[in-house]
Structure 1
Amino acid sequence: MVSIQDLHKSFGKNTVLSGVNLNINKGGIFTVLGPNGSGKTTLIKVILGMVIPNKGTISVLQENISYNSNYRHKIDYLPQIANFPNNLKVRELIKMIKDLRGQTEQDKALIERFKLEPFLDKKLGNLSGGTKQKVNLVLTFMFDSPLIILDEPTTGLDPISLIRLKTLIQSEKAKGKTIIITSHIMSFVEEVSDEIVFLLEGQIYFKGSINELKSKTDQPDFEHAIASILSDNYA
């Protein structure tokens, strides 16, 4: 599904990714973790073709992304911060995205799931952060793509919407889709992830299941395992 070999990326003198090798197979939920500045966002943007690496080979959906951009149409992406036009109504934004990407009826079920009906005729600039995130989720999941990338999807969500999101992610996984997530919410990560990738100083420190990480760090729970990695490397 995603294959990355010897990936390097620097911004000026700042090396962000240094020799990353990563294979993510089809199907399942993979979470990318790491402290601020570890390269998570850059790695996601490289996969999306939004950042050009200095070196490395990246294939997504069996296509080398250096040679074409067609693969992007098979990815649904939820950015951490959605910059919507403030003067558009929610209904107008959804219609605009459907006109750009293709018609779908899945938006109706998602609007119902996240209880957005009362907000459809409200301008995006007048919505709360949590409601904007629900709109963001509708735009992401309303197309039936095989690869879904979610950057901090829980931001601003109330507990009920969070439960609905977790159920939605699991249902997409059941369809055989591959879902890549970044998140700082350890309880969410532990609940949904099949496998985690931990980035540290631009390199992959660990790739495997949460149980394997707890065993490697000799820690009883996930949060202490993560804390152990950070304290060992930043003590």
Structure 2
Amino acid sequence: MINIQNLHKKFGKNIVLSGVNLDIKEGGIFAVLGPNGSGKTTLIKSILGMVIPNKGTINLLGKSIKNNSDYRNKIDYLPQIANFPNNLKVKELITMIKDLRGNKTTHDDDLINQFKLQPFLDKKLGNLSGGTKQKVNLVLTFMFDSPLIILDEPTSGLDPISLLRLKDLIQSEKAKGKTILITSHIMSFVEEISDEIVFLLEGQIYFKGTINELKEKTNQTDFEHAIASILTENHA
């Protein structure tokens, strides 16, 4: 699905990605983890074409993404912070995104029902709470049918019931054979949902594999301690 080779990116003198090599196979849930400043967001934005690397190649479904914007139609993306126009109503935003993507979807009605957004459809986005905005964000992401889904901190601001719905949604998309990339600071969510994790440290892939493999590598019995031991070991 995604093949990344020798990816480098620096902003000024700050080296953010330093020779990243990564293969993500088709189908499954992959969590991209790492401390703040490890390069997670830059890596994801490079895949999305929002950041242009200094060096290296990114192939999606066997084709280079360089000078090729069409590949973005194969990605559904949930940004960490969605900056919606405050004066638009929720239903106007949903219609606008459908028009922009040119995709016929009827899935938005199901998602609106799932996240109980009917009472908010005629409300302006500027008047919504952070949690409700995140539910709108999730509807916009999942209402299309793309083979790759990228979710940047998807649990942000969600109440427990909406979090359960999100987990069900992610699993149902996986069951359709889709590839899902997730970043999250919530380790319990990552442990429950992920097939594999990709751990970035100082701009490089430190580890890629299952959570059990990480526990074995770090001699830890639980996931949070395994992550903590990587960070302690590398800051000793």
- TM-score scaled by length of structure 1: 0.99
Q: Which residue of 2 aligns with 1:143?
A: 144
1:70 aligns with 2:98: no
Q: Which residue of 1 aligns with 2:191?
A: 190
Q: Which residue of 2 aligns with 1:35?
A: 35
Q: Which residue of 2 aligns with 1:83?
A: 83
SS in 2 for 1:173: helix
Q: Which residue of 1 aligns with 2:52?
A: 52
Displacement after TM superposition at 1:156 (Å): 0.2
Q: Deviations over 1:150-189 (max 9, x none)?
A: 0000000000100000000000000000000000000000
Q: Which residue of 1 aligns with 2:216?
A: 215
- Residues in 2 aligned to 1:109 and 1:16: alpha-carbon distance in whole angstroms: 40
- Residues in 2 aligned to 1:26 and 1:134: alpha-carbon distance in whole angstroms: 27
Displacement after TM superposition at 1:3 (Å): 0.3
Q: Which residue of 2 aligns with 1:176?
A: 177
Q: Which residue of 2 aligns with 1:226?
A: 227
SS in 1 for 2:144: coil
Amino acid corresponding to residue 143 of structure 1 in structure 2: F
Displacement after TM superposition at 1:209 (Å): 0.1
Displacement after TM superposition at 1:61 (Å): 1.9
SS in 1 for 2:16: strand
Q: Deviations over 1:20-41 (max 9, x none)?
A: 0000000000000000000000
Displacement after TM superposition at 1:201 (Å): 0.2
Q: Which residue of 2 aligns with 1:158?
A: 159
- Residues in 2 aligned to 1:105 and 1:162: alpha-carbon distance in whole angstroms: 23
Displacement after TM superposition at 1:234 (Å): 1.1
Amino acid corresponding to residue 65 of structure 1 in structure 2: I
Amino acid corresponding to residue 95 of structure 1 in structure 2: T
Q: Deviations over 1:98-119 (max 9, x none)?
A: 1111221000000001000000
- Residues in 2 aligned to 1:64 and 1:99: alpha-carbon distance in whole angstroms: 27
Deviates more, 1:60-69 or 1:203-212: 60-69
Displacement after TM superposition at 1:60 (Å): 1.0
SS in 1 for 2:5: strand
- Residues in 1 aligned to 2:63 and 2:174: alpha-carbon distance in whole angstroms: 22
Q: How many pairs are equivalent?
A: 235
The alignment-based identity, stated in percent, is: 82
Consecutive aligned runs of 4 or more in structure 1 exceeding 6 Å deviation = none
Structure 2: gaps (5+ residues): none
SS in 2 for 1:57: strand
Q: Deviations over 1:38-84 (max 9, x none)?
A: 00000000000000000001101222011311100110000000000
- Residues in 2 aligned to 1:99 and 1:33: alpha-carbon distance in whole angstroms: 34
Amino acid corresponding to residue 108 of structure 1 in structure 2: D
Q: Deviations over 1:120-161 (max 9, x none)?
A: 000000000000000000000000000000000000000010
Amino acid corresponding to residue 106 of structure 1 in structure 2: H
Displacement after TM superposition at 1:19 (Å): 0.5
SS in 1 for 2:8: strand
Deviates more, 1:183-192 or 1:58-67: 58-67
